Amino acid sequence: MAGKEIAIIIVFYVTCGVVVISALIAVFARSVINAAFALFFTLCGMAGFYFLLSADFLAIVQIVVYAGGILVLLLFGILLTHRTLEELGIEKRTTYIAGTIAGLAFYLILIFIIAQGLWHQIPPKPMAPTTATIGRLLLTKYLLPFEISSVTLLAALIGSAYLVRRKEGK
């Protein structure tokens, strides 16, 4: 039992390090390409957190949709919108000063709130597969959002296919 606890703590902090360091690179990297590749490690680390939180289905969804779909689309977006290698996201650094100060102030507020809160925690239940429960809830209690989400996907596909339809650089 104690060994299991220690293993969980080690895995948590290793995942923490991967997520935070790669998110830092994703935010502060000069080149957008580097930022997108760092985002890949952040997303995979988030899947690790979901595994630790016994959300096994969500972890797979995170890898399949975020790392496999959204990130690929982001990379295509980067490669479709540059002219030369030099133009590929060499950014001025001046805007970062104000942004970092604002972010740090907001972070202090968040930490203050988290420290103040009396979080009512229950001892977590033993881990169990969640996929079937999620499927049952999607078909019963959350049926309307489930069906509406398909219409949203339809609208997004038609909208973006229409937007990129125009001749490039006309």
Partner 1 sequence: MTVGLIHYLIVAAILFVLGLIAIISRRNAVGVLIGVELVLNAANLNFVAFSRYAERGIEGQIFVIFIILLAACEVAVALAIVINLFANLGAIDVDRAGRMKR
Partner 2 sequence: MLYDFANIVVFLVLTGVLVFGTLLVGRLVRTQKPTPEKNTIYECGEPPFGSSWVRYNIRFYNIALVFLIFDVEVVCLFPVILVLQHFKLISRTLMLVAVGEVAFFVVVLVIALIYAWHKGALDWLRAPESPYSVEESHNPE
Residue 31 burial (CB count, 10 A): 14
Q: Which residues ranging from 78 to 97 are in contact with partner 1 (CB under 8 A)?
A: 78, 80-81, 83, 87, 89, 91-92, 95-96
The tokens for 22 are 């790669």
**Within 13 Å, how many C-alpha atoms sit on residue 157's CB side?**
6
82 binds partner 2 (CB under 8 A): yes
State which residue, 7 or 104, has the beta carbon closest to partner 2: 7
Smallest gap from residue 67 Cβ to partner 1 (A): 11
39 binds partner 1 (CB under 8 A): yes
* Residue 60 one-letter amino acid: I
Taken in order 87, 89, 90, 92, the sign of the CA dihedral is positive
Listed residue (18, 24, 19, 20) closest to 96, CA to CA: 24
Determine the Cα–Cα distance for residues 103 and 141; give it in Å rounded to an integer: 38
Q: Which residues ranging from 129 to 158 are in contact with partner 2 (CB under 8 A)?
A: 129, 131-132, 134-136, 138-139, 143, 146-147, 149-151, 153-154, 156-158
Q: How many residues bind partner 2 (CB under 8 A)?
A: 57
Contact present, 14 and 45 (Cβ < 8 Å): no
Q: How many residues bind partner 1 (CB under 8 A)?
A: 84
Determine the Cα–Cα distance for residues 146 and 135; give it in Å rounded to an integer: 10
Residue 135 touches which member of partner 1, partner 2, none, C-beta under 5-8 Å by kind: partner 2
Listed residue (37, 31, 30) closest to 96, CA to CA: 30
53 binds partner 2 (CB under 8 A): no
Smallest gap from residue 46 Cβ to partner 2 (A): 15
Q: Which residues bind partner 2 (CB under 8 A)?
A: 4, 7-8, 11, 51, 54, 56-57, 61, 64-65, 68-70, 72-73, 76-77, 79-85, 88, 126-129, 131-132, 134-136, 138-139, 143, 146-147, 149-151, 153-154, 156-158, 160-162, 164-169
